[in-house]
Structure 1
Amino acid sequence: MIRRHELDALPVRSALPALQEALEGAGTAVLCAPPGTGKTTLVPLALAGLTADGAPVRKVLVAEPRRIAARAAARRMAWLLGERVGERVGFTVRGERAVGARTVVEVVTTGVLLQRLQRDQELPGVDIVVLDECHERHLDADTAAAFLLDVREALRPELRLVAASATTDAEGWSRLLGDAPVVAAQGVSHPVETLWAPPERPVRPAHGMRVDPALLSHVASVVRRALREREGDVLCFLPGVGEIARVAGQLADLGAAGVEVLQVHGRAPAAVQDAVLAGAGDRRRVVLATSVAESSLTVPGVRVVVDCGLAREPRMDHARGLSALTTVRASQAAARQRAGRAGREAPGAVYRCWSEGEDGRLPRFPSPEIKVADLTAFALQAACWGDPDASGLALLDAPPGGAMAAARDVLTAVGAVDAAGRATERGVRMARLGLHPRLARALLDGAAQVGARRAAEVVALLSEEPPREYGDDLADAWRTARRGRDAYAGRWRQESRRLASALSGAAVATAATDAVGAGAPRDEAPSASPGSRGSSSPAPAASAPGENDDVAAGIVAALAFPERVARKRGAGAYVMASGTGAEVGDGSRLRSAEWLAVAVADRPVTAASARVRLAAVVDEETARWAAGALYAEAEEVGWADGDVVARSVARLGAVELVSRPLRDADPALVREALVDGLRREGLGLLRWSDGARSLRERMAFLHGELGAPWADVTDEALLARRDEWLEPELSRARRRADLARIDAGQALSRLLPWASGESARFDELAPERIEVPSGSRIRVDYGGDQPVLAVKLQEMFGLRESPRVAGGRVPVLVHLLSPAGRPAAVTADLASFWQDGYRAVRAELRGRYPKHPWPEDPAAAEPTRHTTARMRRG
């Protein structure tokens, strides 16, 4: 029996006529309805004609972003109809299906919807598609919307499409759907009081998957405070499963006080999920949930929300080839959604674990996945759809070019697309497995090496990362899952069976024949070209009955992540073929392995190396086979450890396998290595005599004062013009010692303006020495900002003006020295010094040096290098 009282109480009912009218007219609509108004449950039933007697029955497909939401929505709709799931309302998620012959409303995940569209673009029998929670901007939902718009335009204009959002930011979706009408439903909103509850002491910002334990302890204390200060159930938002488990542990003693602590997330057992969504019993509840409870699920009985202020979003580090969830600050939109859960049934309160001042600095909306996530699966979907670069797809945000290029490289390497980016038959088969393309490749090629069942079991482990307590050794985690009785082990078995059944005999038999790079048997030389295709014979180490789990796990992991095969380079330290460093935790069995296939790793913001979360032990043969496309042999000549190093090197990506000294290196490579050495260590590697240094300083002076044709002789400029002045000496050099024998002064003189004849004026414009009145030729120092002439004061008697250089443009800075050679005065204007400064110097020095002449009129006196007595004898 239909529960009409509950249906009539749902606020979205008032928006149904406008929604029906929009679909009859435009064929598309955007429905904005706050959480809890019934947009996920009443709207599909009404569109299907199940809530009104005599209404035409239509087949409605509802797409949810999460499995837990899809199951919950189907159960709620079936309950409203007074039926069991699988009758007129059913659901299909990966690995689970409850649909019958009478089903007219089917709830699916967006991933399942994409699979159906790829198999049959027309969606035969479906009249209306509802994309729920589209405001969350999940990549699968954006992709499904783009495909459905293509279907409406080219194949089925009568197909109706509804984009349902829990926020009012619907303008973008309206434009995307061809200026679709926006239908808004008002929710029953009770007032929610905001209480700011920041930690008393600063906590470390979250990075990667790490959240400061101090923040989690604070959240637990805020939950206790909420229980004391407010009535009703408490819904606490946390970023992930690990944080939920930690806070649950800190709240375990609440059971003795009659409070039930429940955990809601995608990995929670179905029975727990059902208990949370069924409503409160006699006991008060604390529900610890991920963002799945923001809008996808309604938890009855909640009067208080505790918000930690964090969320998990996918991120792709393209430079290191690492893709993972990362912890970020929740957006303002998410915070509003979370707070609204406290006012669904009565006035409530939200405790926000951050300050009011911080609130204004939060991002307005969560980042669209297409902007930040790994796009490999999206690129394969687009290629299979016939639009490899996704340029023709109607998307709210275009995919970043760099991310698409990186994704296409991966798809090419695993044989999913051809050189033009079009999907191959193998790529289509991979897309239909419902896996990331890397895992699809590992399943297809791994089945040919270790058997379908083993490959399916390992890939199932890789498709949903095992709990942290399973450890970081993939083979050990596999053994733990086999004997496990926890919720994860149950899901793993179900997924393993699904994948094994998906591996048809034809797919396994032909998988290796169209593999790329790793399709060859493991005993075949890995130096074949990346595009070579090997035979389908199984790997020697993987063919024996009762094969070791470690070997099978390593083969499958290496096939999934060939650029992450890693070789040991120190205690617990590895380098992956991608060039990224990796570190294994203390106490891990993996630390003793020479080679690893890294399946899961993350890199803290401040760390140079990634942390290994899950990996398998492999041998070098497996690594070279799986990453065969990365194998290369080359002559490497470079500057290292202060000299030219020439080697013949075999590499697996960035991992060095073998190196041998190279005796007859390419002279051009040697020359570039020497230039690199000069660039790194400077031109001081050449032989610089005093004369050479003086020559360079004089040339630099003229360049600075006169410009062309006098050459710039800075290191950068000289290296740029090395062919003009350092040849042929550089071409004859082979090592550092040869550079030290090159006369820098002789080489540098080649840059003097010989062709114009200006070089003849070099000594005139920048004389190395200047003859002073005493007859001495004194060296000029051009190393400073101004040329300096350091000369004894008595030798300058009789000279009325300071010497000038650069054709008379620049006065020389004269350092006048005492008879003992110590500085007595500095002047660039000798005439002024004789008139004003000399008297003070004379008064100070004549008593100290009485044997030297100190005339009253130095400008008219006779210059001398000698004492007064010697002058008289002379």
Structure 2
Amino acid sequence: MIRYDALDALPVRGALPALSDALDAHGTAVLVAPTGSGKTTLVPLALAGLLGGDAPARRVVVAEPRRIAARAAARRMAWLLGEKVGGSVGYTVRGERVVGRRARVEVVTTGVLLQRLQRDQELAGVDVVVLDECHERHLDADTAAAFLWDVRQALRPELRLVAASATTDAQGWSGLLGAAPVVEAHGRAYGVGVVWAPPARPVRPSHGMWVDPALLTHVASVVRRALAEREGDVLCFLPGVGEIARVAGQLGGLGDVDVLQVHGRAPAAVQDAVLAPGERRRVVLATSVAESSLTVPGVRVVVDSGLTREPRVDHARGLSALTTVRASRAVGNQRLGRAGREAPGVAYRCWTEAEDVRLPAFPAPEIKVADLTAFALQAACWGDPDASGLALLDPPPTGAMAAARSVLSAIGAVDSAGRATERGARLARLGLHPRLGRALLDAGPSREVAEVVALLGEEPPREYGDDLAAAVRTARRGGDAYAGRWRTEVRRLQGLADEPARASSLTEDALVGLVAALAFPERVARADGGSYLMVSGTRAEVRDATALRGAPWIAVAVADRPVGKGHARVQLGAVVDEETARQAAGALLDERDEVHWADGDVVARRVERLGAVELAVRTLRNPDPVLVRDALLEGLRQDGLRLLRWSPEADVLRQRLAFLRLHLGEPWPDVSDAALHARVDEWLEPELGRARRRADLARIDAGDALGRLLPWASGDAARLDELAPERITVPSGSRIRIDYANPEQPVLAVKLQEMFGLHEGPTVAGVALLVHLLSPAGRPAAVTADLASFWKDGYKGVRAELRGRYPKHPWPEDPADAEPTRYTNARLRR
């Protein structure tokens, strides 16, 4: 019997006529309906014609981002119809299908929907697809929306599409679906107040998977406060399983209050218990799985830590993992709405109101931050390898797509043009990440292989340890929820085999290592100086108390990089041998001659490499001269041109040329390091061509080589001594060397008495020299670039100070008209 009383209480009911009209007129619609309004449960029933009236009978597929949400939505709709799941309403998630022959509404995960679209692009028999919670911007959901739009445009214009969410970029989705009408259901079922409850003291920002324990202690205290101040059950949002366990541990001694933990790894029985009314008051600690599409009965209070987990990829190191971030305002509103689904409620937010306005409006689209390997394969199988023709709210980042295509090419999933190969199409049908699909196919369709792939498909609990082989054995004998899901997935994977399973000749541990290495070939790593060097070039460290430590080779399945650390940290890996490493990462195996500059000289070797890992090295006796020359040039760039022989005359020549280049420009050459490296062919040949090692460079006269850069063709080279002479004749007749070390203004250091009789200071190439006037003892007495001014104003002071110290030397009152001299008064009189 249909529960019309419950259906009539759902606010979205008032928007059904507008939604129906939009679909009749346009075939697409964007439904914006507040949390708890019934968009997930009432709307599909109405579109399927299951609520009576004149509505035509249709088959509706509802796509949910999570398995727990898909199952819960199906159960809720079946309850509203007075049926059991599997009748008019069913669901399909990976490894589980409960759908009867007369089902009119089927709830699926977006991953399942993608698999169906790849098998049957027309979605034969489906009349309406509802993409629920599209605001979460999961990659599968965005991809499914793009594919569905293609289907509607090219194959089935009658297929109806609804993008539904409580908080979303309605106009963006409208434009994506061909100017689809936006239908809004106004008003939450009940009001929800907000209590700002930040920690009394600042907490450290989260990074990676780490969350400040002080924040978790504060969240636990806010839960206790909420229990004391409010009625009803409390739903507390935390970023992950570890944080849930820690807060649960701090909520001991609550008396008659039950503490439940709900997350993707929770047993089905626990999930069901959370979604059913409790006999006692409850605190439900949940991850983001409880943000949408679920009604937790009895909840009147939400406590929000303000944190969530999002995928991130470190393309430079080839690592992908979840990371803890601040939840967006849209996510905060989703969480807040959980408190108002059955009655007025309140939300305690563990941050300040001022912080709230600075939060991002929406979550980061997964397409911008996640590993795109699976997406790239989906796009290639769809016939659009670069995804340029797909209707996406955000285009995939170029770098991430290039990295994804590199992985797909290495495993034979795409050809050189990025098109899916037959193997790629098969991998796409497996419902696995392409890496895991490759491991399943190449390691052989045995139960043991399926066991390892299933474990890699859903990272096991941390208590299983970091040794993959031991974790498989733990899962076999385990009675926890993870082990139950793992066994189900193993059975599914065994059923995918195209040939009978065969026993492997490898030992169990060796087979585990092979599967891990096939899935993550660039993360095969060899022990190297206390850490492991992956073939990708990333270094990784293992824990002290682990079976992995000391192994010559390992395959890293899961790793993260702690903030402030240059190395990755292995979370899950397997021991392998070199033969397995070569087999798995064969595409990265290379042998070549390497001639480069290292440790101050040319190093010539023949090297066999597996990516960044050197397998074998031997010295090259007659390396390619071209490679040697390149290595010498690299040495000159790294260690500088001082590797050549620079005589004092060569240094002076370079300084003179730098002076002329600065003040006269062309045709005088640029002799900076960068310019000399760029023109090395012009000035260092043929000497460089004959050199084989550092010692040969030291025999090359840099001054002779620089001479080749003089402007001989224009004839200006002959004017070098005229424009930038090495020495200049001063009034005393002495030829004094000019110091060109500072090309802005060269220096002439000369005894003061030798400049008597000179009215204006000397110049070269029109530039006034900076004259350092020296005492008779050769010590600086004055510095001037304007000799006339010095004779007039500065000389008197110098004369007064020095004439008593050097009485044998002339100190005339009028130096500008005095006779210059190199000698003392006595010498002058003779």
The alpha carbon displacement at 1:870 in A equals 2.6
Counterpart position of 1:119: 119
The one-letter code sitting in structure 1 at the alignment partner of 2:464 is Y
Counterpart position of 1:798: 757
Counterpart position of 1:418: 415
Counterpart position of 2:160: 160
Write the distance in 2 (CA, Å) between the matches of 1:817 and 1:385: 84
The alpha carbon displacement at 1:487 in A equals 0.7
Counterpart position of 1:628: 586
State the secondary structure of the residue aligned to 2:728.
Answer: strand
- Output one character per residue of 1:396-428: Cα deviation in whole Å (capped at 9) or x when no partner: 222223222222221121122222322222222
Whether 1:483 aligns to 2:474 is: no
Specify whether residues 431 and 195 from structure 1 end up closer, same or farther in structure 2 by C-alpha distance, changes over 3 A only.
Answer: same
Specify whether residues 487 and 823 from structure 1 end up closer, same or farther in structure 2 by C-alpha distance, changes over 3 A only.
Answer: same
Write the distance in 1 (CA, Å) between the matches of 2:189 and 2:722: 92
The one-letter code sitting in structure 2 at the alignment partner of 1:696 is R
The one-letter code sitting in structure 2 at the alignment partner of 1:472 is D
Whether 1:864 aligns to 2:821 is: yes
Q: Is the 8 A contact 2:739 2:747 kept in 1?
A: yes
Whether 1:369 aligns to 2:363 is: no
Write the distance in 1 (CA, Å) between the matches of 2:551 and 2:471: 17
Counterpart position of 1:277: 275
Counterpart position of 2:437: 440
Q: Which piece of structure 1 moves more, 347-356 or 630-639?
A: 347-356
Counterpart position of 2:800: 843
Counterpart of 1:569 (choices 522, 528, 543) is 528
Q: Is the 8 A contact 2:532 2:539 kept in 1?
A: yes
Q: Is the 8 A contact 1:788 1:814 kept in 2?
A: yes
Specify whether residues 24 and 833 from structure 1 end up closer, same or farther in structure 2 by C-alpha distance, changes over 3 A only.
Answer: closer
- Output one character per residue of 1:105-157: Cα deviation in whole Å (capped at 9) or x when no partner: 21111111111122222222222221111121111112212222222233322
TM alignment of 1:383-782, pairs within 5 A? 383-447=380-444, 451-505=445-499, 543-544=504-505, 547-571=506-530, 573-782=531-740
Q: Percent identity?
A: 77
State the secondary structure of the residue aligned to 1:608.
Answer: coil
The alpha carbon displacement at 1:466 in A equals 0.5
TM alignment of 1:15-164, pairs within 5 A? 15-52=15-52, 56-164=56-164
Counterpart position of 2:779: 822
5+ unaligned residues in a row in structure 1: which ranges? 510-541
Write the distance in 2 (CA, Å) between the matches of 1:772 and 1:54: 113
5+ unaligned residues in a row in structure 2: which ranges? none
Whether 1:292 aligns to 2:289 is: yes
Extract structure 1 runs of 4+ deviating beyond 6 A: none
Q: Is the 8 A contact 1:577 1:653 kept in 2?
A: yes
Write the distance in 2 (CA, Å) between the matches of 1:715 and 1:253: 73
Specify whether residues 754 and 369 from structure 1 end up closer, same or farther in structure 2 by C-alpha distance, changes over 3 A only.
Answer: same
Write the distance in 1 (CA, Å) between the matches of 2:388 and 2:714: 58
The one-letter code sitting in structure 1 at the alignment partner of 2:453 is V
The alpha carbon displacement at 1:676 in A equals 1.1
The alpha carbon displacement at 1:792 in A equals 1.3
Counterpart position of 1:525: none
Counterpart position of 1:225: 225
Provide TM-score, normalisation by structure 2. 0.97
Counterpart position of 2:307: 310
State the secondary structure of the residue aligned to 1:592.
Answer: coil
Q: Which piece of structure 1 moves more, 191-200 or 670-679?
A: 191-200
Counterpart position of 1:187: 187
State the secondary structure of the residue aligned to 2:548.
Answer: helix
Q: Is the 8 A contact 2:36 2:337 kept in 1?
A: no
Whether 1:834 aligns to 2:791 is: yes
- Output one character per residue of 1:563-605: Cα deviation in whole Å (capped at 9) or x when no partner: 111111122x111111112121232221211111111112234
- Output one character per residue of 1:515-563: Cα deviation in whole Å (capped at 9) or x when no partner: xxxxxxxxxxxxxxxxxxxxxxxxxxx943xx43220111001111111
Counterpart of 1:810 (choices 767, 770, 775) is 767
The alpha carbon displacement at 1:616 in A equals 0.6
State the secondary structure of the residue aligned to 1:591.
Answer: coil
The one-letter code sitting in structure 2 at the alignment partner of 1:823 is P
The alpha carbon displacement at 1:54 in A equals 7.0
The alpha carbon displacement at 1:478 in A equals 0.7
Specify whether residues 440 and 856 from structure 1 end up closer, same or farther in structure 2 by C-alpha distance, changes over 3 A only.
Answer: same
Write the distance in 1 (CA, Å) between the matches of 2:463 and 2:600: 48
TM alignment of 1:233-244, pairs within 5 A? 233-244=233-244
The one-letter code sitting in structure 1 at the alignment partner of 2:736 is I
| C-alpha RMSD of the superposition | 1.8
Write the distance in 1 (CA, Å) between the matches of 2:792 and 2:162: 97
Counterpart position of 1:12: 12
Counterpart position of 1:538: none
State the secondary structure of the residue aligned to 1:825.
Answer: strand
The one-letter code sitting in structure 2 at the alignment partner of 1:862 is E
The alpha carbon displacement at 1:691 in A equals 1.2
The alpha carbon displacement at 1:55 in A equals 5.1
The one-letter code sitting in structure 2 at the alignment partner of 1:481 is A
- Output one character per residue of 1:441-485: Cα deviation in whole Å (capped at 9) or x when no partner: 1011111xxx51011000000000000111111111111111111
The alpha carbon displacement at 1:664 in A equals 1.0
Write the distance in 1 (CA, Å) between the matches of 2:565 and 2:13: 53
The alpha carbon displacement at 1:238 in A equals 1.0
- Output one character per residue of 1:45-77: Cα deviation in whole Å (capped at 9) or x when no partner: 222222216754322211111000011011111
- Output one character per residue of 1:784-826: Cα deviation in whole Å (capped at 9) or x when no partner: 23111111112222222211111xx112111111111111111
Q: Which piece of structure 1 moves more, 786-795 or 48-57?
A: 48-57
The one-letter code sitting in structure 2 at the alignment partner of 1:707 is G
Counterpart position of 1:354: 351
Specify whether residues 856 and 17 from structure 1 end up closer, same or farther in structure 2 by C-alpha distance, changes over 3 A only.
Answer: closer
Q: Which piece of structure 1 moves more, 124-133 or 590-599?
A: 124-133
Write the distance in 1 (CA, Å) between the matches of 2:816 and 2:397: 78
Q: Which piece of structure 1 moves more, 794-803 or 328-337?
A: 794-803
Write the distance in 2 (CA, Å) between the matches of 1:722 and 1:388: 44
Provide TM-score, normalisation by structure 1. 0.92
Q: Is the 8 A contact 1:12 1:39 kept in 2?
A: yes
The alpha carbon displacement at 1:639 in A equals 1.1
Q: Is the 8 A contact 1:35 1:298 kept in 2?
A: no
Q: Which piece of structure 1 moves more, 146-155 or 785-794?
A: 146-155
The one-letter code sitting in structure 1 at the alignment partner of 2:755 is M
The alpha carbon displacement at 1:168 in A equals 5.4
Q: Which piece of structure 1 moves more, 235-244 or 158-167?
A: 158-167
